[in-house]
Amino acid sequence: LYCQCTRQKPAAPLPPGPKPLPILGNVANLTSAKEPWLLAERWAKRYGPITYLHVVGQGLVFLNTPEVALDLLDKRGAIYSDKPHLVMVGELCGCENMVAFTPYGDQSRRQRRLMQAAFGSSSIKHYQPLLQLETKPFLRGLLEDPFKFQDHLRRYAGGLTLLVVYGHHVKSTDDAFLKLADECVNILANRIAAGGGIWPVDVFPALKHLPDWFPGAGFKRNAAIWKKKMQVFVDEPYAFVLNERRKGTAKASFVSTVLDDMDGEEKGLDTHQDFDLRWTANSMYAASIDTTITTLSHFILAMVKHPLVLKRAQAEIDAVVGQNRLPVFEDRPSLPYCNAVFTESLRWGVPVPLSLPHRLTEDDIYDGAFIPKGSLVFANIWSILRDETLFPNAHAFNPDRYLVPAPDEETERRRDPRSYVFGFGRRRCPGMHLVESSAWLLMVSMIATLDIGKALDEYGIEIEPEVVFDNAIFRMPRPFKLAVRPRSEAVLRLLSEESLYV
Ligand code: HEM
């Protein structure tokens, strides 16, 4: 089949996969999938560690075990780190400079160096006081209107990211940057990248030469509007930091840290660096919102479904922290059960189940199978985190699985979901150290202050949360019903006090 699309003769058989139709390939297999990761899991069970299929000649490869994902995406990272070249998303909407879409090369390496410098594990402690600022407003919002928990999470993730990336403190939902950011993330997720970001112009690139007024060229007119909006979102918060620095009032943030480091250099910022920094900062924002909402929604869902886990975690917090203050990072080593709940939430939720696709830049042979250049390669994180040998009774939410010490370091690494949930290789999530602090803090703060459980219907009968997934990239549950109550009067008093951290 590969020979239908290229005149080259494959050097070995392609990896196994579902039988394709002539020319169209596996279009039918994919379009019917609501939760594509379930389909990928079925193929993994049937065909083994690597699955291959194609859609109109475009190869799609799923890597279904940790070994294969590490061997290819990590060890052969030099050829497995490019991104799909998308005409609509990249060229026409101007997102080609966003980190998650940047082709592999000098630009992507420069962007990742910036993120590593500012968001590497050793830098995160500088942001920890900022992370505490957004906790109380979130908890208050959740108590006021529990059904809107995802709106509160969106506001929380937005506020936190503006703070950490640009040092901008959001004080109300009318905040201009927050509104701009919300609008742009919405355009990106629900307009530009809806349907996986593939548009007819990606299949037939000649369409981009249609005149804007031409019938059917509406996508070009929309792209021009969206591109302009995204540029404002890239420039305005960045200009805010430059201005704050001129006034001497800038807070520590991703942008200010990078600029401070560059001040030491003789020439200051050249145009390249300036361009890289403003786009990299913007990418951090876009990448953090849906991932954070998804991760924390799964934690809340787990608490609704498992009241005994919540009780046990609360008892641990009461013993270590008491009820007169919120947990802080220094408490973390004394909270092993809460840490296990956090780890299990990452595993059970699988926020980005098929990771983001990497594009293979050279033909490759692995374990006797031929993987063609240009294939889009997906790490099947979902199947790895539901693997019964790694995680017995894998569908159950069970923090206890981490409480028995692992016999050795290798087992410890293999059973830690962090080895997988953030992807693999040179495009691995650069926000993972931030999440490790921010999501942990929010989870333990919820555990410390709130009773989270099932909502009751008009007859006082508990409503089982209905769990539905609509998004093909993020495993974000549709908002479900729940009940949230303060654990005590003391909690209410604590939450009404303003934060004094900054
Ligand atoms: C629990 C929350 C999160 C999860 C599960 C997650 C997961 C992922 C995954 C699976 C990828 C694809 C990696 C790959 O291609 O191999 C990714 C990429 C990325 N993530 Fe995250 N992420 C989270 C939060 C964040 C946050 C908070 C930020 C920013 C502050 C962020 C920034 C990024 C960026 C910029 C990329 C693109 C990297 C590249 O292509 O080089 N993520 N993330």
In sequence order, what DSSP letters do the residues of 272-311 get, joined into one string? HHHHHHHHHHHHHHHHHHHHHHHHHHHHHHHHHH-HHHHH
Cα 457-461-463 angle, rounded to 5 deg: 65
Q: Rounded to the nearest whole angstrom, what is the distance from the C-alpha of residue 423 to the centroid of ligand 1?
A: 8
What pLDDT score does 184 carry?
87
Amino acid identity of 5?
Answer: C
SS3 54: strand
- The residues, any chain, with a CB within 8 Å of residue 394's CB and separated by 6 or more, are 385, 386, 387, 388
Separation between Cα atoms, residue 444 and residue 283, nearest integer Å = 28
Question: Is the CB–ligand 1 distance for residue 435 below 6 Å?
Answer: yes
Amino acid identity of 187?
Answer: I
Choice from 108, 429, 438 to test ligand 1 binding pocket (greatest atom count within 8 A of CB): 429
What pLDDT score does 2 carry?
46
Question: Is the CB–ligand 1 distance for residue 99 below 6 Å?
Answer: yes
Question: Is the CB–ligand 1 distance for residue 287 below 6 Å?
Answer: yes
Stated as kind and residue range, the H or E segment containing 371 is strand 369-371
Q: What percent of the chain has pLDDT over 70?
A: 92
Tell me the sheet residues that pair with 376.
Answer: 60, 359
Among protein residues, the one whose CA lies closest to atom 18 of ligand 1: 429
The per-residue pLDDT for range 254-273, each reduced to its tens digit, is 999 888 887 755 456 788 88
Stated as kind and residue range, the H or E segment containing 377 is strand 376-379
Q: Rounded to the nearest whole angstrom, what is the distance from the C-alpha of residue 422 to the centroid of ligand 1?
A: 6
pLDDT band at 499 (very low <50, low <70, confident <90, very high): low
Q: Rounded to the nearest whole angstrom, what is the distance from the C-alpha of residue 56 to the centroid of ligand 1?
A: 29
Angle of the 336-349 helix axis to the 432-449 helix axis, nearest 10: 120
Least confident of 130-144, 196-210, 359-373: 196-210
Give the atom of ligand 1 at the shortest distance from the alpha carbon of 111.
41
Tell me the sheet residues that pair with 51.
Answer: 62
Q: Rounded to the nearest whole angstrom, what is the distance from the C-alpha of residue 415 to the centroid of ligand 1?
A: 20
Question: Is the CB–ligand 1 distance for residue 59 below 6 Å?
Answer: no
Among protein residues, the one whose CA lies closest to atom 7 of ligand 1: 422
Least confident of 201-210, 270-279, 325-334, 455-464: 201-210
The closest of 177, 213, 187 to 89, measured between CA atoms, is: 187
- The residues, any chain, with a CB within 8 Å of residue 191's CB and separated by 6 or more, are 222, 226
The per-residue pLDDT for range 30-68, each reduced to its tens digit, is 665 679 999 999 999 999 999 999 887 889 999 999 999
Tell me the sheet residues that pair with 486.
Answer: 450
Stated as kind and residue range, the H or E segment containing 55 is strand 50-55
Separation between Cα atoms, residue 130 and residue 160, nearest integer Å = 8
Count other Cβ atoms within 10 Å, centred on residue 200. 12
What pLDDT score does 122 carry?
85
Q: Rounded to the nearest whole angstrom, what is the distance from the C-alpha of residue 234 to the centroid of ligand 1?
A: 19
- The residues, any chain, with a CB within 8 Å of residue 241's CB and separated by 6 or more, are 166, 167, 250, 253, 255, 256, 259
Q: Model ipTM?
A: 0.99
What pLDDT score does 391 carry?
96
Q: Supply the pTM of this predicted model.
A: 0.92
Question: Is the CB–ligand 1 distance for residue 347 below 6 Å?
Answer: no
The per-residue pLDDT for range 436-457, each reduced to its tens digit, is 999 999 999 999 999 999 999 9
Separation between Cα atoms, residue 396 and residue 394, nearest integer Å = 5
The closest of 281, 274, 289, 230 to 95, measured between CA atoms, is: 230
Alpha-helical segments (H) within 368-408: 381-385
Question: Is the CB–ligand 1 distance for residue 430 below 6 Å?
Answer: yes
Q: Rounded to the nearest whole angstrom, what is the distance from the C-alpha of residue 431 to the centroid of ligand 1?
A: 6
Stated as kind and residue range, the H or E segment containing 53 is strand 50-55
Among protein residues, the one whose CA lies closest to atom 3 of ligand 1: 291
Separation between Cα atoms, residue 219 and residue 227, nearest integer Å = 12
429 assigned to a ligand binding site: yes
Separation between Cα atoms, residue 263 and residue 272, nearest integer Å = 15
* Residue 168 to residues 249, 255, 488, Cα–Cα distance (Å): 11, 11, 33
Choice from 422, 427, 437, 473 to test ligand 1 binding pocket (greatest atom count within 8 A of CB): 422
What pLDDT score does 169 carry?
92
SS (H, E, C) 433-501: HHHHHHHHHHHHHHHHHEEEECCECCCCCECCCCCCECCCCCCCECCCCCEEEECCHHHHHHHHCCCCC
Cα 62-67-72 angle, rounded to 5 deg: 60
Q: Looking at the predicted structure, is the pLDDT value of residue 115 above 70?
A: yes
Question: Is the CB–ligand 1 distance for residue 295 below 6 Å?
Answer: yes
The per-residue pLDDT for range 293-348, each reduced to its tens digit, is 999 999 999 999 999 999 999 999 999 999 889 999 999 999 999 999 999 999 99
Question: Is the CB–ligand 1 distance for residue 286 below 6 Å?
Answer: no
Separation between Cα atoms, residue 360 and residue 76, nearest integer Å = 10
First-last CA distance in the chain: 61
Q: Rounded to the nearest whole angstrom, what is the distance from the C-alpha of residue 110 to the centroid of ligand 1?
A: 17
Question: Is the CB–ligand 1 distance for residue 294 below 6 Å?
Answer: no
Q: Rounded to the nearest whole angstrom, what is the distance from the C-alpha of residue 263 to the centroid of ligand 1?
A: 28
Among protein residues, the one whose CA lies closest to atom 20 of ligand 1: 429
Question: Is the CB–ligand 1 distance for residue 100 below 6 Å?
Answer: yes
The closest of 40, 104, 108, 110 to 76, measured between CA atoms, is: 104
Q: Give me the sheet containing 358-359, strands edge to edge.
A: 50-55, 58-63, 376-379, 358-359
What pLDDT score does 1 carry?
41
Angle of the 218-247 helix axis to the 176-186 helix axis, nearest 10: 150
Separation between Cα atoms, residue 184 and residue 230, nearest integer Å = 6
Among protein residues, the one whose CA lies closest to atom 9 of ligand 1: 422
Separation between Cα atoms, residue 395 and residue 237, nearest integer Å = 42
Q: Rounded to the nearest whole angstrom, what is the distance from the C-alpha of residue 116 to the centroid of ligand 1?
A: 13
Question: Is the CB–ligand 1 distance for residue 385 below 6 Å?
Answer: no
